[in-house]
Amino acid sequence: MLQVPFIRDNKDLVIERLAKRNIDAAEDINQVIALDEDRRALQTKLDNALAEGNKLSKEIGGFFKSGDIEKANVLKEKTSQLKVDSKELTEALNNTTNALNDLLYKLPNVPNNLVPAGNTEEDNEEVFKEGDIPVLDANALPHWELAKKYDIIDFELGNKITGAGFPVYKGKGAKLQRALITYFLDKNTEAGYTEFQLPHLVNEASGLGTGQLPDKEGQMYHVTADNLYLIPTAEVPGTNIFRDVVLNEVDLPITITGYTPCFRREAGSYGAHVRGLNRLHQFDKVEIIRVEHPTKSYEALDGMVAHIKTILQELKLPYRILRLCGGDLGFTSALTYDFEVFSTAQDRWLEISSVSNFETFQANRLKLRFKNNQGKNELAHTLNGSSLALPRVLAGILENYQTKEGILVPEVLHPYTGFKIIN
């Protein structure tokens, strides 16, 4: 959530940066400033009324003690009216504050100045590319056909048990999936991230804290009886560890990693681009999360990008990195880098990771602060990244490592799988 003082002091900058998201925010920003002025005016009136009431109460006590009952009763009438005024002011203040917060919840984060302008994913900037795209046999298959051929992923069985988008991994497919999860966690912990096992359901406050709620796109699975939500990513429970927490500056940075299944109600669409593992309602992901000092968060973002590079280099998958344009930027992000793996059998790039700096946007919602060297509370910066999302990494391995003899397993995974080929 954007901070009101920042909006007030940087009105033109906020409107200009939000325009990168193709949003004309001028009316909303002016309304935020007007509501904040009303809120502060009401607060001042309420404070004055309460102070006047306290002052009169002391004077009434003095008059009663001195026996001047008439003056005491006159003042009691004034205090009665002040109580009525205070109640009305409190109600007006609460209504104004709620209206202000409702509007702030609808405003996305202000893009960093590095974010390119643009409307769609075609306007994203490619900033890095690495790896040779393999030349496959003319009869090479997409992963959903390989999965059926080698009986390692059963999409039809998942559809029978639950519905489309809930695959069943079998045999070497299940073991390769588990190997990737363990490998990712090992790489992250070796890099200094502390491993957490996190809940797969969160409450409403957690969804609000990291920006998944209000659910504007209807992607959250809601357990209505308990008002809980299935997590769309480990970012939500992981970051909410620090909700309503005041850290010490020496505690920073805080770095955690965790594996969870993730659940997303994707909008219905059809075609090869969503077949097989390309788009799922339930999928596995290993996440990295950082809580950083504001002056060091972009250095940390670069470090996260470099860390994910090493994983893809070890997997020997061709990949590229995109800097997302304003129109493709997530609601809570100030700057995001997407990693994409090239699927040779599908002849297209598949997104496998998003690495983002949210600056103070989530921290303001979470009330996540740290006590700086001057002893004052300051909002921290939060960051997170997929390290990595399993489905499309697995799709990339199956398709790019296929041979006439079977599907080779990346060498770095051999200690985890116990086999070198799926055939």
Q: Which residues are annotated as a binding site?
A: 233, 264-266, 287, 351-354, 384
Q: 297-315 and 171-190 helices cross at what angle (nearest 10)?
A: 140
**203 sits in which H/E element:** strand 201-203
Instruction: Using the Cα atoms of residue 191, residue 196, residue 200 and residue 203 in order, give the sign of their dihedral.
Output: negative
Tell me the C-alpha distance between 171 and 176, whole Å: 9
- What is the rounded CA–CA span in Å between residue 15 and residue 27? 9
Neighbours of 234 (CB within 10 A): 27
Give Cα separations from 285 to 36, 154, 210, 389 (angstroms).
Answer: 40, 19, 18, 4
Tokens 């009434």, located at residue:
60
Q: Which residues are annotated as a binding site for L-serine?
A: 233, 264, 287, 384
Q: Among 323, 348, 373, which residue's Cα sits nearest to residue 271?
A: 348
Q: What are the backbone dihedrals phi and psi of residue 212, each rounded to the nearest 5 degrees, phi first?
A: -75, -25
Closest C-alpha to 396, from 324, 303, 316: 316
Q: How far apart are CA 344 and CA 69, in angstroms?
A: 93
Give residue 374's Cα distance to chain centre.
30
Binding residues for ATP: 264-266, 351-354
